[in-house]
Amino acid sequence: MDMNKPIFPAPPGYLVDVDNPQRTGEAANFWIGTLGMIVAAIFMAIRVYTKTRLAKNFTPDDSKLFSKAHSHRPRSNNLAVQYGRGTLGIHIWELTGHRVNSTMNLISVASIIYCPFLASAKLSLLFFYLRLSHLRWFKSCVYASMFLVVGYNIALVFPLIFACTPFKRNWDVTITEGSCIDRTPLYMATAVLNMATDILLLVLPVPMVVRLQIPRAQKMGLICIFGVGSL
C-alpha cells in the first residue's frame, strides 16, 4: 500500500486532486479554535492574578484552574493544528495514507485527554461549592456529583484508549485484521453526559442562593454568575 497516495476510494465521478482538494469550513473553524485558546488564556491569567496578588487566597479549587482554563484546549488545538496543516475539512479520499493516519491519531489523542481535562474543570467548581455551605445534604450532593463526574469520565476514557484489537490498529489505518468499536456512540455519550453535568452544576447552588437573606435582585445576579460557568 502506497501511503503517499489516497488509500480510500472516491465516489464515482468525483475528480480527486490531492494537491488542491476541496475544503469546507477552514477559516471559520481555524479562527474559532484560535479565539477559544486566546480567551481561555486571558481568563486564566486574570484568575491567577486575582487569587495570588489581590485575594492572596489560593484554595484547593484553584489548584485545578489550569485544567479549567484549558479544558477545551485539546480539541481547539486539534482544530487549529489540523486546519493549519491541511488535513481537516477535506474528504478522506483526497488525503494521503500518511495524512489520514496522523489525522486519526490527533483526533484519538484529543478525545482521550479531553475527558480528564474537562473532569478537572468540573471538579474545580465542585470544590468551590463545598465552601458555600456546611449543610450535610448539600455536601452529600456535591460529593455525589464528584463521584459521577469522575466515574463517567473513567468509563469513557478506557474504551477510547482500547478501542481496537490489535491495539496498534488504533493509530495505523493500514492494519485491516482485528476490529474496532464504533467510537461515535462514545463521542455522543461524552457530549450528553457533559451537558447533563453542566446543568447539574448550574442547579446545585441555587438552593443555597435562594436561602440567602439578601435582596431578590442580588439573588438573581448570583444565579446568573453561576450560570456563566455552564454557558
CB 145 within 8 A of CB 200: yes
All three cell numbers of 93, joined, read 479520499
Tally Cβ neighbours within 10 Å of residue 199. 10
Q: Ramachandran region of residue 13, left (φ > 0), alpha (ψ -120 to 50) or beta?
A: left
Domain range for 151 is: 26-230
Of the candidates 87, 96, 90, 94, the one whose C-alpha atom is nearest the C-alpha of residue 5 is 96
pTM: 0.71
Residue 28 has a pLDDT of 77
Is 145 among the domain residues? Answer: yes
Residue 231: partners with Cβ closer than 8 Å, 6 or more residues away: none
* Number of structural domains found in the chain: 1
Is 2 among the domain residues? Answer: no
Is 189 among the domain residues? Answer: yes
Residue 147 has a pLDDT of 95
CB 193 within 8 A of CB 145: no
Is 20 among the domain residues? Answer: no
Is 71 among the domain residues? Answer: yes
CA gap 226, 217 in Å, rounded:
15
Residue 145 has a pLDDT of 94
pLDDT per residue rounded down to tens, the chain (231 residues): 678 788 888 899 888 888 888 877 777 777 777 787 788 788 778 877 887 777 777 665 555 555 554 455 555 666 666 666 667 778 888 888 888 888 888 878 888 888 888 888 888 888 888 887 888 888 999 999 999 999 999 999 999 889 888 888 887 888 888 888 888 888 898 889 988 998 888 888 888 877 778 888 888 887 777 766 556
Report residue 90: phi and psi, to 5°: -125, 140
Residue 192 has a pLDDT of 92
Is 13 among the domain residues? Answer: no
Is 9 among the domain residues? Answer: no
> Within its chain, how far is the Cα of 141 from the centroid?
24
Residue 140 has a pLDDT of 93
Is 153 among the domain residues? Answer: yes
